[in-house]
Amino acid sequence: MILIADSGSTKTDWCVVENGVLLQQIFTKGTNPFFQSEEEISNEIATALLPQLKTSELDAVYFYGAGCGFPDKISMVHRAITKHLNVKNKVEVNTDMLAAARGLCGHDSGIACIMGTGSNSCCYDGKSIVTNVSPLGFILGDEGSGACLGKLLVGDILKNQMTPELKEKFLKQFDLTPADIIDRVYRKPFPNRFLASLSPFLAQNLGEPCVRALVLNSFKAFLKRNVMQYEDYQHQKVHFIGSVAFYYKEILAEAAQEMGIQLGAIIKSPMEGLIKYHN
């Protein structure tokens, strides 16, 4: 019996699996060792995961998470897991990017991309990541992500680049003032989650030319600044995972066509593919 976890900055999907069969699925808050301490991660496992977990013994844990790309961050998550879970064999901590690649491509090679709260991409050989353009987070990069779309939306709203009607509609829908937004972005924790939570407003108003252009241009920026850096990208299918890619798939397809990129699969979650991969 194994436990597979796919953790983004917003939520973690935990699946108990035996011989390729899903036995239990649990959702907890997202885990990111760049934004959370080891104690906070450990506390989330103890208070949110353990009370729901129906098994006390596991053969292995495969944890894939945002922010798990550096040895010190991997060690943090590893210690938090082993502190609370009885694991017979091994605990592996890998990046959410590897989860996306394995979930999308399985044991085949390809270009895999994440477009959720954050964004990322890699060239994958069927087992591991060969090359990766650093996503740089929502301040310096993360083009096309929910956080980036939210940031662009808020910037355009507060700089009066959208119609007065849209601005009023936005502030009323989210019950926000400009001062509230500044406070949430610059003073409160997890500004990336806050900004990503605003991005559905774009999906609801895609009929507005300025809104559609914002989303399309952000997707094109993602493709140009990430995918088009990979060697031979023109001859490979480019696969996407994540809520933003899934819900904006028509605009993503338009961006890919304009940039001469072959679009492959677009799915919401890597878990089904990860269960197959680890069977």
Q: Pairing between strand 110-115 and 119-124? A: antiparallel
Q: What pLDDT is stored for residue 134 in this prediction? A: 85
Question: At which residue do the structure tokens 């394995």 appear?
Answer: 102
CA angle at 132 for the pair 129 and 138, rounded to the nearest 5°: 130
Q: Is the pLDDT of residue 144 over 90?
A: yes
Query: What is the chain's mean pLDDT, rounded?
Result: 93
Residues 15-38 have pLDDT tens digits of 999 999 999 999 999 888 888 889
pLDDT at position 31 is 86
Q: Which residue would you say has higher pLDDT here, 96 or 216?
A: 216
**CA dist., res. 143 & res. 147, Å (int):** 9
Length of the chain in terms of residues written: 279
The model's pTM: 0.82
Phi, psi of 102 (to 5 degrees): -70, -35
**pLDDT of residue 252 exceeding 90:** yes
- 9 pLDDT higher than 90: no
Taking residues 126-138, report their average pLDDT.
Answer: 88
Q: What is the mean pLDDT of residues 153-158?
A: 96
The domain defined by 2-100+272-277 carries CATH number 3.40.50.2300? no
DSSP state of 134: -
Task: Pull the structure tokens for residue 44.
Answer: 């989330």
At residue 67 the predicted structure's pLDDT band, cuts being 50, 70 and 90, is: confident
Q: What is the pLDDT of residue 184?
A: 94
> How wide is the angle at C-alpha 144 spanned by C-alphas 66 and 204, nearest 5°?
110
Secondary structure (DSSP) of 189-235: S-HHHHHHHHTHHHHHTTTSHHHHHHHHHHHHHHHHHTGGGSTTGGG
What is the band of 214 on the pLDDT scale with cuts at 50, 70, 90? very high
Using CB atoms within 10 Å of the CB of residue 24, give its burial: 0 to 12 exposed, 13 to 18 middle, 19+ buried: middle
**119-124 vs 129-131, strand pairing mode:** antiparallel
